[in-house]
Amino acid sequence: MSTPAAVPVASFRPDPAKPRLRGVIHSYAAVVAAFAGAGVIVGAAVLRGAAETFACALYAATIVGLFAVSAFYHRISWKSARAHVRMKRADHSMIFVFIAGTYTPFCLMALPAPINWWVLGIVWAGAVGGVTLKIAWPGSPRWLGVSLYILLGWVIIAVSPTLVGHSSAAVLVLLAAGGVLYSVGGVLYAMKWPDPWPSSFGHHEVFHACTAVAATLHYIAVWLVLAA
């Protein structure tokens, strides 16, 4: 098992070929998400009740957290193995938390009880399991983490007819389009492909671009549900 203490500092070498734009997309996305998140919280407070406002606040916190942690991790050239592994754990763990956070407003505003509580329980339990995996095994294979991200992200398929019945087809289309982008980005991340401009915009930047666009689509879907 890999832990910060178990990683020999002498064997750790920062990636000398890190593209210049590594983490830049998520740096800007974190700032945009902070303002967008504040907007959706205010919108929920005006248009809905306390529970919906809490759900939107949780969603906003997770999206800002995802992009901010990612930007911090990728923009800095970590000099020690301990710091690098800790930030890697945080970065990968936030993906699971963000997935569950994104589900939360849809469960509370677009799904009826008790289905919404079942879905919430499944995705948050999955998020806890994913975070536990990343903390206990930060060096786990890429395919394992990506598979879990995708599996957790597509739980919504099981309740999609109910979701459409309580919201709209447009919401489902936006969720599906965002899900496809997240999934494609995850697969490309696992493959480390394509790598268009390795010195400036590489395969990881392609992945980050997919996540930023997908998050935007899901944000629009949150507003459609909120304003319905």
Residue positions in the annotated binding site?
A: 74, 204, 208
**121 CB-near residues (< 8 Å, 6+ apart):** none
Residue 106 tokens read as 């849809």
Q: How many CB atoms lie within 10 A of CB 116?
A: 21
Residue 151 tokens read as 């599996």
Q: How many CB atoms lie within 10 A of CB 118?
A: 15
Contact by Cβ (8 Å): 127, 181: no
Q: Give the containing element (helix H, strand E) for 210.
A: helix 203-227
Q: Which residues are annotated as a binding site for Zn(2+)?
A: 74, 204, 208
Interatomic CA distance for residues 15 and 81, integer angstroms: 12
Interatomic CA distance for residues 124 and 120, integer angstroms: 6
Residue 2 tokens read as 């890999």
Residue 95 tokens read as 């993906």
Q: Give the containing element (helix H, strand E) for 92.
A: helix 81-110
The single residue listed with the structure tokens 């007819």 is: 161
Q: What is the DSSP string of 143-186?
A: HHHHHHHHHHHTGGGGGHHHHHHHS-HHHHHHHHHHHHHHHHHH
